[in-house]
Amino acid sequence: MLENNQILVTTEDGKEMVCEILFTHEVDNKNYVVFEFPDSGEISAAVYLATETEDEGYFEDVESEEEWEMLDKLLEEYFDEIEAEDEEEDSSLA
Protein backbone atom coordinates (compact mmCIF):
# COMPACT_ATOMS: atom_id res chain seq x y z
CA MET A 1 0.00 0.00 0.00
CA LEU A 2 1.32 3.43 -0.91
CA GLU A 3 1.73 6.20 1.63
CA ASN A 4 0.57 9.76 0.84
CA ASN A 5 4.08 10.81 -0.16
CA GLN A 6 4.72 7.87 -2.51
CA ILE A 7 4.04 7.01 -6.14
CA LEU A 8 4.40 3.84 -8.15
CA VAL A 9 6.73 4.37 -11.12
CA THR A 10 7.21 1.90 -13.97
CA THR A 11 10.78 2.13 -15.27
CA GLU A 12 11.79 1.80 -18.92
CA ASP A 13 12.59 -1.89 -18.35
CA GLY A 14 9.08 -2.50 -16.97
CA LYS A 15 10.07 -2.74 -13.31
CA GLU A 16 7.66 -1.11 -10.85
CA MET A 17 9.22 0.91 -8.03
CA VAL A 18 7.73 2.81 -5.13
CA CYS A 19 9.28 6.28 -5.14
CA GLU A 20 9.16 9.05 -2.57
CA ILE A 21 7.57 12.32 -3.66
CA LEU A 22 9.89 15.18 -2.70
CA PHE A 23 7.50 17.93 -3.74
CA THR A 24 4.89 18.96 -6.28
CA HIS A 25 4.66 22.21 -8.19
CA GLU A 26 1.92 23.69 -10.35
CA VAL A 27 2.60 26.24 -13.08
CA ASP A 28 0.70 27.09 -16.27
CA ASN A 29 -1.96 24.47 -15.46
CA LYS A 30 0.69 21.72 -15.32
CA ASN A 31 1.24 19.68 -12.19
CA TYR A 32 4.83 18.56 -11.75
CA VAL A 33 5.87 15.79 -9.38
CA VAL A 34 9.52 15.56 -8.32
CA PHE A 35 10.41 12.18 -6.83
CA GLU A 36 13.34 10.04 -5.71
CA PHE A 37 14.10 6.41 -6.52
CA PRO A 38 14.81 4.63 -3.21
CA ASP A 39 17.55 2.25 -4.38
CA SER A 40 19.72 4.68 -6.32
CA GLY A 41 18.79 8.05 -4.82
CA GLU A 42 18.24 9.27 -8.39
CA ILE A 43 15.81 12.16 -8.63
CA SER A 44 13.42 12.59 -11.52
CA ALA A 45 10.22 14.43 -12.39
CA ALA A 46 7.07 13.98 -14.40
CA VAL A 47 3.93 15.87 -15.30
CA TYR A 48 0.83 14.53 -13.56
CA LEU A 49 -2.38 14.58 -15.57
CA ALA A 50 -5.63 13.93 -13.74
CA THR A 51 -8.41 11.90 -15.28
CA GLU A 52 -12.14 12.33 -14.82
CA THR A 53 -11.89 10.08 -11.78
CA GLU A 54 -10.25 12.28 -9.14
CA ASP A 55 -8.30 9.47 -7.48
CA GLU A 56 -6.67 8.37 -10.73
CA GLY A 57 -4.34 9.94 -13.21
CA TYR A 58 -1.22 9.29 -15.21
CA PHE A 59 2.23 10.72 -15.78
CA GLU A 60 3.89 12.13 -18.86
CA ASP A 61 7.54 12.94 -19.37
CA VAL A 62 8.85 16.45 -18.82
CA GLU A 63 9.44 17.55 -22.40
CA SER A 64 11.29 20.83 -22.62
CA GLU A 65 14.67 22.07 -21.44
CA GLU A 66 12.93 25.10 -19.92
CA GLU A 67 10.79 22.82 -17.74
CA TRP A 68 13.86 20.88 -16.57
CA GLU A 69 15.68 24.13 -15.76
CA MET A 70 12.70 25.33 -13.71
CA LEU A 71 12.53 22.01 -11.85
CA ASP A 72 16.29 22.03 -11.23
CA LYS A 73 16.00 25.49 -9.66
CA LEU A 74 13.09 24.35 -7.49
CA LEU A 75 15.05 21.27 -6.45
CA GLU A 76 18.02 23.43 -5.41
CA GLU A 77 15.66 25.60 -3.34
CA TYR A 78 14.13 22.47 -1.81
CA PHE A 79 17.53 21.13 -0.71
CA ASP A 80 18.63 24.58 0.53
CA GLU A 81 15.51 24.73 2.69
CA ILE A 82 16.15 21.26 4.12
CA GLU A 83 19.77 22.18 4.85
CA ALA A 84 18.68 25.39 6.60
CA GLU A 85 16.15 23.46 8.70
CA ASP A 86 18.82 20.90 9.66
CA GLU A 87 21.24 23.66 10.67
CA GLU A 88 18.53 25.37 12.71
CA GLU A 89 17.70 22.10 14.44
CA ASP A 90 21.39 21.43 15.18
CA SER A 91 21.87 24.90 16.66
CA SER A 92 18.83 24.51 18.89
CA LEU A 93 20.21 21.25 20.29
CA ALA A 94 23.52 22.86 21.26
Q: Is the dihedral of CA 50, 52, 53, 54 positive or negative?
A: positive
pLDDT tens for the chain, residues 1 to 94: 778 899 988 888 998 999 999 999 999 889 999 999 988 999 999 999 988 876 778 889 999 999 999 999 999 999 999 888 888 777 776 5
pLDDT digits (tens, 9 = 90+) for 52-63: 876 778 889 999
Report how far Cα 52 is from the mean position of its chain's Cα atoms.
Answer: 23
Digit-coded pLDDT (tens) for 16-27: 999 999 999 999
